[in-house]
Amino acid sequence: MANVKLSAIAASPSNLAATDQIVGVRSAATDLLFSYAQINAGLALFSTTTTTQGVVPGSNNVGATFFLNATGAWSVPAGGAGAPGGSTLQVQYNNAGAFGGVNEYVESANVLAQRNGLTAQAHYVYNTFTDASNYERGAFDWSTTANLLSVGVQNLGTGAARDLLLMATTTNVYFQGGGIIRGCLGLDTSNADGLILRASGCFMWSNASGAMTRPPAAADAGLIRVTAGVVGPGVNSVGIANGWLQWGGEARVTSNFSGASSNIALADITGLSVNVQAGRTYAFYAYLACQTTTAAAGLRAGIGGTCTATNIVYDGYCLDTNTTKGQARAAALGGVVANSGTLTTATGAIIEIQGEITVNVAGTLTVQIAQSVSTAASPPVVLQGSYLWVHDMP
């Protein structure tokens, strides 16, 4: 057995034999002696190959999740393999250096829930955040108003008020259920027309003609509250109805229409036709400014179309130089209700028809005209500017 200095072991570890003792100089007069077994046991604490001990984990990674604590026992380190906080399915967070359970739960593989018993929850997504008194954020919560789900934008302090855009690129945005819409809402379909509901209670429309703007391009049409119980078309001023309405029940003659000569059978007037729906009741009125080549041919008119009627009643007459002629009533489509016979003047006749129809099968409702007396080379003519109004009724 020999005494071996530590410096000699460092220089050549093979110098250490099982029977050797290692000398550690504590002071000038006293040495510390360590046996081979003692040194070997100490080195084993720092082994890189064992799996059950060593501050440095074993090279086979089995011992990598353990460390040697001050008591000499093996412990699991804090971190990913630590014991979770909260309850089963609860999402974890750093709670002052320890695991804690946030009020979010993995309810299933595809469902993440935020809940805390009967306490209303809130979810915020920030655009800017300086501190709790200065921010811009989107909010989805039950806490802004009790028992009401609020979706919108919020700001405080130096945070600016921002717009909210509901967007479906090429499809629709649906609102289901009844209720009240307040504030300002901008909608855009394929970068075309925009609809705005202004805080004043006005529905406004605009032609964006390009990329979506916020709000949509300047409104140029709308429905305005004029006064209590009165709504009118306008632009953007409450109480001022300075626009007009147009609907599918309006039709007009855009160029003079000529009927057939030598024919007293009623025929459709081009342009004076509207579509009507089954189960609806409509009032209608037609104004015809008429003329013909020969006064003796006269004029007759009525109402036809492709729809069928559960009930229909209408009247008409021809005004010939301040004289009413051919006044009659019909209770079926295709009836003649204005029949002038021979006219006093060929160029000044007016025909008016008005009535009501309850539609059985949807189709068209059309004004018709013909000669009153079959006459060659004298077609009935309906002048540009003649029109038909059809109103849906309760």
Q: All domains of the chain, ordered by start, with CATH?
A: 122-156 (no CATH), 185-234 (no CATH), 250-393 (2.60.120)
Structure token digits, residue 354: 């008005």
CA distance 377 to 256: 17
How buried is 63 (Cβ within 10 angstroms: 0-12 exposed, 13-18 middle, 19+ buried)?
Answer: buried
**Of 249, 239, 236, which is closest to residue 281 (Cα–Cα)?**
249
Determine how β-strand 111-114 pairs with β-strand 98-108: antiparallel
**Are the CB atoms for 355 and 313 separated by under 8 Å?**
yes
Collapsed DSSP state (helix, strand, coil) of residue 250 = strand
**Given this model, what pLDDT does residue 191 score?**
42
How buried is 359 (Cβ within 10 angstroms: 0-12 exposed, 13-18 middle, 19+ buried)?
Answer: buried
Q: What is the mean pLDDT of each run of 10 residues along the chain (394 residues)?
A: 55 60 60 65 52 45 52 55 76 83 90 94 96 96 92 95 79 63 46 53 58 53 79 72 83 97 97 96 97 96 98 97 94 97 94 98 98 96 98 92
**Given this model, what pLDDT does residue 224 score?**
77
For CA atoms 43, 49, 52, 56, give the dihedral sign. Answer: positive
- Residues forming beta bridges with residue 329, ordered by sequence position: 315
**Are the CB atoms for 206 and 216 separated by under 8 Å?**
yes
**Are the CB atoms for 253 and 382 separated by under 8 Å?**
yes
Task: For the beta carbon of residue 360, count every other beta carbon within 10 angstroms.
Answer: 14
**Of 102, 96, 100, 103, which is closest to residue 118 (Cα–Cα)?**
103
How buried is 275 (Cβ within 10 angstroms: 0-12 exposed, 13-18 middle, 19+ buried)?
Answer: middle
CA distance 209 to 194: 9
**Of 379, 304, 376, which is closest to residue 337 (Cα–Cα)?**
304
**Of 21, 43, 41, which is closest to residue 33 (Cα–Cα)?**
21
**Given this model, what pLDDT does residue 32 score?**
64
Q: How far is CA 108 from CA 122, 171, 332, in A?
A: 21, 30, 65
- Residues forming beta bridges with residue 338, ordered by sequence position: 301, 327
Residues 6+ apart with CB under 8 A from 373: 264, 296, 297, 298, 341, 342
**Of 363, 384, 388, which is closest to residue 290 (Cα–Cα)?**
384
**Given this model, what pLDDT does residue 68 score?**
55
For CA atoms 23, 25, 31, 33, give the dihedral sign. Answer: negative
Respond yes or no on whether the N-terminal peptide bond of residue 380 is cis (omega within 30° of 0).
no
**Of 311, 302, 240, which is closest to residue 280 (Cα–Cα)?**
311
**Given this model, what pLDDT does residue 167 score?**
76
